[in-house]
């Protein structure tokens, strides 16, 4: 149950457990709709026997509503075999019809149950569980991680993966499988990757990996560079709050030891030849949600420092619009989990067009990290709260590092300029800490706004992605309608939304930046205020003008213009956190969401 609790952030509309016990005819199973606590209650009332092997699942519904019946595991072979699944089996209708024609009865609406019955059919024909898994995965289309146990093989768990994550944990006298290392980090920090279309069989004594055809695969384990304490709340009431407070460390760790004595960026894996990076004429960033906003901040920096055009594309739109990508396009995939299916597919599409791909990823050994040509890890540590915070800041930092590296490599900046940029970045963690230490006013404001129905966020230049991120956090955590607009767009339509009392947050550019930009956004503040809006401004310390136009100003320390998002977003994260808390919502597991969106 500990492992399941750690994985609950990935999906939490139902949960279940199947165990192999001394009964060789049936596995023991409990499953319940709703959060894990419901399963815990069920188990307290109807405990399961001690197990020799077990599988457990927390679900984010795709096929079938979140009911007890649709919760995983699913049973087959008259209760002797149990299966759990992440992903979507795309050809499930045809397979279901085939099985029904053979007389198989289905107890749920899920695509998963199809895999269970297919597996049972092979085992009934005399195959071992692992052989049966290899046979059925050849017939399945789509994305899946499957784990199965069979009461007649009491010390074995078999797993398979295609396009969905699965990691192996190597313990002593025990081995583990999980969608994420957090599932078993309490027991071991030694992990093994499972690649695309591989099948794994674990027993307490050993692990066997094969490809789908049954050829044994040798794989070197890796050491997970954080421990179980990093995946705990550390004295904070929620993971979200803890992770917001982790941000100075996340940025500092992402920066640490990156640039060698020649000013060259140290990537964490893979390699793209300098000649290739010198010849690129365009960068396309592919990412989703918060990660895409990090891409937008990075775009401004890379274009300014390197004079290379940068596009930021939502990964799910990328391959469907026939983008112009080739060997001279550097594709940068940004993903906290490294398992977002939309981003994985964008990476594959880019590679098919011959583009080199750099991944900016937080999860070690994840699919995107593995498939990209080079990796720059954000060292934010495990992000458990479903809504992203510290990963966002670490992603922006990694984009800056990439920009600095390309600027150096391509001769856009002199070494002393590079050094000065790095020095400025190194000052950021302490400044984030100052924003955190001074957060009470924005939290107090949030507590008064629980009844708001809509909140608008305006920003310009690098403040625009910050405005969108502020709005996204509020939607996700507090279920309040929120929109982030470029401030310049206001007069082209959105200003019609302003009415008496409408709260508007404005991310004000630094007055030390382009003077005109500061004054233009000040004009935008005045325009909405004149129409009755309540204006709340995020401004740089020392910006005396800001207070003249705002009901309240939240100051952040001064920083180079391009780096300001690392500071200005923090009050907005805290605002959403506090408002959601005031409304009594679960900020770690907001409704309808899952941490890793491993389906397209
Ligand atoms: C928002 C959030 C999402 C993710 C997006 C991409 O708080 O968490 O918008 O940023 O789903 O996820 P990753 O970064 O794992 O690819």
Give the model confidence (pLDDT) of 186-222 as tens digits: 999 999 999 999 999 999 999 999 999 999 999 999 9
Ligand 1 pocket, residue 289 CB under 6 Å: yes
529 CB burial (10 A radius; 0-12, 13-18, 19+): middle
Ligand 1 atom having least distance to the Cα of 473: 7
Tell me which residue of 152, 136, 147, 112 sits closest to 25, measured CA to CA: 152
pLDDT tens, position by position, 315-339? 999 988 889 999 999 999 999 999 9
pLDDT tens, position by position, 369-410? 999 999 999 999 999 999 999 999 999 999 999 999 999 999
- Residue 417, number of CB atoms within 10 A of its CB: 14
* Cα first-last separation, the chain: 29
Region for 205 from its dihedrals, namely left if φ exceeds 0, alpha if ψ lies in -120 to 50, beta otherwise: alpha
Q: Where in the chain is the domain with CATH 3.60.20.10?
A: 2-229
Query: How close is the Cα of 336 to the center of ligand 1, in Å?
Result: 7
Ligand 1 atom having least distance to the Cα of 392: 10
CA 114/CA 135 separation, integer angstroms: 14
Ligand 1 pocket, residue 388 CB under 6 Å: yes
Q: In this structure, what token pair is assigned to residue 55? A: 């599988």
Ligand 1 pocket, residue 295 CB under 6 Å: no
pLDDT of residue 259: 73
Q: With a cut of 80, say whether residue 262 has pLDDT above it.
A: no
Measured CA distances, 343 to 319, 339, 393, 575, 589 (Å):
10, 8, 19, 29, 22
Ligand 1 atom having least distance to the Cα of 291: 10
Q: In this structure, what token pair is assigned to residue 499? A: 């009415």
Ligand 1 pocket, residue 589 CB under 6 Å: no
Q: Please, which pLDDT band fits residue 515 given cuts at 50, 70 and 90?
A: low
Extended beta strands in 292-431, E state: 310-314, 329-335, 357-361, 374-377
pLDDT of residue 114: 95
pLDDT of residue 599: 74
Ligand 1 pocket, residue 291 CB under 6 Å: yes
- Spatial strand order in the sheet of 503-507: 481-486, 454-459, 503-507, 534-540, 552-556
Ligand 1 atom having least distance to the Cα of 343: 16
Average pLDDT over the chain reads 93
φ, ψ for residue 201 (rounded to 5)?
A: -125, 125
Contact 568, 550 (CB under 8 A): no
pTM, full prediction: 0.87
Contact 480, 509 (CB under 8 A): no
Q: What is the H or E stretch that residue 56 is in?
A: strand 53-59
pLDDT tens, position by position, 62-83? 777 889 999 999 999 999 999 9
Ligand 1 pocket test target in 164, 243, 290, 293 with most atoms within 8 Å of CB = 290
pLDDT of residue 512: 84
pLDDT tens, position by position, 463-494? 999 999 999 999 999 999 999 999 999 889 98
φ, ψ for residue 361 (rounded to 5)?
A: -135, 150
Ligand 1 pocket, residue 337 CB under 6 Å: yes
Ligand 1 pocket, residue 315 CB under 6 Å: no
pLDDT of residue 263: 64
Ligand 1 pocket, residue 290 CB under 6 Å: yes
pLDDT of residue 378: 95
Task: Give the dihedral sign, CA 483/486/487/491.
Answer: negative
Share of the chain above pLDDT 90, in %: 80
CA 402/CA 376 separation, integer angstroms: 8
The CATH number for 437-582, chosen from 3.40.50.10490, 3.40.50.720, 1.20.1050.140, 3.40.50.300, is 3.40.50.10490
Query: How close is the Cα of 344 to the center of ligand 1, in Å?
Result: 13
CA 502/CA 491 separation, integer angstroms: 16
Q: DSSP labels for 166-182?
A: -EEEE-SS-EEEESSGG
CA 598 to chain centre: 10
- Residue 441, number of CB atoms within 10 A of its CB: 14
Residue tagged 């008496």 (tokens): 500
Q: With a cut of 90, say whether residue 227 has pLDDT above it.
A: no
pLDDT tens, position by position, 91-141? 999 999 999 999 999 998 888 999 999 999 999 999 999 999 999 999 999
Alpha helix segments (H runs only) across 27-177 = 36-45, 92-101, 112-124, 129-137
Q: What is the mean pLDDT of residues 424-429?
A: 96
Contacts with 92 (C-beta within 8 Å, 6 or more apart), sequence order: 63, 111, 114, 142
Measured CA distances, 490 to 293, 341, 380, 408, 458 (Å):
20, 34, 35, 38, 8
- Spatial strand order in the sheet of 14-20: 28-33, 14-20, 53-59
Ligand 1 atom having least distance to the Cα of 595: 8
Query: How close is the Cα of 580 to the center of ligand 1, in Å?
Result: 19
Q: With a cut of 90, say whether residue 452 has pLDDT above it.
A: yes
Ligand 1 atom having least distance to the Cα of 597: 11
- Residue 127, number of CB atoms within 10 A of its CB: 16
Query: How close is the Cα of 342 to the center of ligand 1, in Å?
Result: 11
- Residue 107, number of CB atoms within 10 A of its CB: 12
Homologous superfamily of 233-426 in CATH? Glucose-6-phosphate isomerase like protein; domain 1 (3.40.50.10490)
Residue 252: asked if its preceding bond is cis (omega within 30°), the reply is no
Tell me which residue of 164, 551, 230 sits closest to 383, measured CA to CA: 230
Which protein residue's CA is at the shortest distance from atom 16 of ligand 1?
335
φ, ψ for residue 503 (rounded to 5)?
A: -75, 130
Q: Where in the chain is the domain with CATH 3.40.50.10490?
A: 233-426, 437-582
CA 441/CA 373 separation, integer angstroms: 45
φ, ψ for residue 63 (rounded to 5)?
A: -100, 110
Ligand 1 pocket, residue 335 CB under 6 Å: yes
Ligand 1 pocket test target in 11, 244, 250, 289 with most atoms within 8 Å of CB = 289
Q: With a cut of 80, say whether residue 513 has pLDDT above it.
A: no
Homologous superfamily of 2-229 in CATH? Aminohydrolase, N-terminal nucleophile (Ntn) domain (3.60.20.10)
């Amino acid at each position: 149950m500990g492992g399941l609790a750690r994985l609950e952030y990935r999906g939490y509309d139902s949960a279940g457990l199947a165990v192999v016990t001394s009964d060789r005819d049936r596995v023991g199973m409990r499953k319940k709709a709703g959060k894990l606590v419901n399963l815990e209650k069920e188990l307290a009332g109807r405990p399961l026997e001690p197990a020799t092997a077990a599988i457990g699942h927390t679900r984010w519904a795709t096929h079938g509503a979140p009911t007890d019946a649709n919760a995983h595991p699913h049973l087959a072979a008259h209760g002797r075999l149990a299966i759990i699944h992440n992903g979507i089996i795309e050809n499930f209708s045809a397979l279901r019809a085939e099985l029904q024609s053979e007389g198989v009865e289905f107890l749920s609406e899920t695509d998963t149950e199809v895999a269970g019955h297919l597996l049972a059919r092979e085992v009934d024909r005399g195959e071992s569980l692992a052989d049966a898994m290899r046979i059925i995965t050849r017939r399945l289309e789509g994305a899946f991680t499957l784990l199965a146990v069979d009461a007649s093989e009491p010390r074995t768990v078999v797993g398979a993966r295609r396009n969905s994550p699965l990691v192996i944990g190597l313990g002593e006298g025990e081995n583990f499988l999980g969608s994420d290392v957090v599932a078993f980090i309490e027991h071991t920090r030694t992990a093994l990757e499972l690649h695309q279309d591989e099948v794994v069989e674990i027993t307490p004594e050993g692990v066997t990996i094969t490809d789908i055809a049954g050829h044994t695969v040798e794989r070197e384990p890796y050491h997970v560079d954080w421990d179980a304490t990093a995946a705990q709340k550390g004295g904070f009431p929620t993971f979200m709050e803890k992770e917001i407070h982790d941000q100075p460390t996340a940025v500092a760790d992402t920066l640490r030891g990156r640039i060698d004595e020649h000013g060259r960026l140290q990537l964490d894996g893979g390699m793209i030849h300098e000649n290739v990076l010198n010849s690129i004429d365009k960068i396309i960033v592919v990412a989703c949600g918060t990660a895409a906003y990090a891409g937008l901040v990075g775009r401004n920096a890379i274009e300014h420092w390197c004079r290379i055009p940068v596009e930021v594309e939502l990964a799910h739109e990328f391959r469907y619009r026939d983008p112009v990508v080739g060997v001279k396009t550097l594709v940068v995939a940004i993903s906290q989990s490294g398992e977002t299916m939309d981003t994985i597919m964008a990476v594959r599409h880019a590679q098919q067009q011959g583009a080199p791909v750099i991944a900016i990823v937080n999860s070690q050994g994840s699919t995107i990290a593995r498939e990209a040509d080079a990796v720059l890890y954000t060292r934010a540590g495990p992000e458990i709260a479903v809504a992203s915070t510290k990963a966002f800041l670490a992603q922006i930092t990694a984009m800056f590092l990439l920009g600095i590296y390309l600027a150096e490599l391509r001769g856009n900046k002199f070494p002393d300029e590079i050094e000065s940029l790095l020095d400025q970045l190194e000052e950021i963690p302490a400044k984030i800490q100052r924003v955190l230490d001074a957060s009470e006013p924005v939290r107090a404001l949030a507590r008064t706004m629980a009844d708001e129905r809509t909140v608008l966020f305006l920003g310009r230049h690098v403040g625009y992605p910050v405005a969108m991120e502020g709005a996204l956090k509020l939607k996700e955590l507090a279920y309040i309608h929120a929109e982030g607009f470029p401030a310049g767009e206001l007069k082209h339509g959105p200003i019609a939304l302003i009415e008496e009392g409408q709260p508007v947050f404005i991310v004000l550019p630094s007055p030390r930046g382009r003077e005109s930009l500061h004054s233009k956004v000040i004009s935008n503040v005045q325009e909405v205020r004149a129409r009755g809006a309540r204006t709340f401004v995020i401004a740089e310390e020392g910006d005396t003008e800001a207070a003249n136009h705002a009901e309240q100003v939240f100051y952040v320390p001064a920083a180079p213009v391009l780096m300001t998002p690392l500071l200005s977003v923090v009050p907005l994260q805290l605002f959403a956190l506090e408002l959601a808390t005031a409304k009594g919502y679960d900020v770690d597991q907001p409704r309808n969401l899952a941490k890793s969106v491993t389906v397209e």
